[in-house]
Amino acid sequence: MRTLGALAALALLAPFAAPVTGGPVSADSFYALKTTTLQGQPAELSQYAGKVALVVNVASQCGLTPQYEGLQKLYDELKDQGFVVLGFPSNDFGGQEPGTAEEIEGFCKKNYGVTFPMFSKLVTKQGPEQSPIYSRLGQTGSLPTWNFAKYVVDKDGNGIQFFNSKIAPDAPELRQAIEAALAR
């Protein structure tokens, strides 16, 4: 009887359970990488496998910081279609992300209502300190040269298109790349 009661309780809680990951990923997939959340918790990017991701190196004190608004809007519009924005703070360009994780999180929520996943600060530039995330993304042939560079990553974790910082979140060419990846 106890087992049936436990099973019934689990059945009631099932709708509130954590989402199932996109399944197994290949070792060379972006989604095979691990990182740390902005709150300092370990995070496996495999939880986004099966989704199209827009990976962005972000900064709070940049002239392009208002792009957070467009990123959040894009996330809100497309998240139910299997899309996610992944923000990676970086202090690589002009020292424009000097804050602590708590300061970055507070700034993003207060000023732009950011709810998309944000991760710990990392190095995007090529070299010995470069994050494995940007090492993998750099295999597309492009690395950020400034804050708010964007990569469209397909459902299998392949970086399929790079957009420089000047391409705003509402740019038609970015939207087309995301929609094409979602349609695959």
pLDDT digits (tens, 9 = 90+) for 11-41: 333 332 333 345 567 888 999 999 999 999 9
Element (H, E) at 113: none
Q: Which of 111, 147, 158, 164 is catalytic?
A: 111
Range(s) of the domain holding residue 30:
24-183
For helices 67-78 and 172-183, what crossing angle results, to 10°?
30
Whether 90 has a pLDDT exceeding 70, the answer reads: yes
| Total number of domains constituting the chain | 1
* Domain contains 16: no
Catalytic residue list contains 111: yes
Mean pLDDT throughout 47-58?
Answer: 97
Q: Residue 3: inside a domain, yes or no?
A: no
**Crossing angle between the packed helical segments 67-78 and 101-112, to the nearest 10 degrees:** 70
DSSP codes joined into one string, 116-149: S-BB-----SSSTT--HHHHHHGGGS---SSTT-
The answer as to whether 7 is a domain residue is no
Mean pLDDT of 87-104: 96
The CATH number that applies at residue 81 is: 3.40.30.10
Alpha helices, DSSP H, located in the chain: 2-13, 67-78, 101-112, 132-137, 172-183
**pLDDT tens per residue across span 111-128:** 999 999 999 999 999 999
Categorize the per-residue pLDDT at 60 as very low, low, confident or very high, splitting at 50, 70 and 90.
very high
Measure CA 174 to chain center: 15
In a domain, residue 10? The reply is no
Does a structural domain hold residue 1?
Answer: no
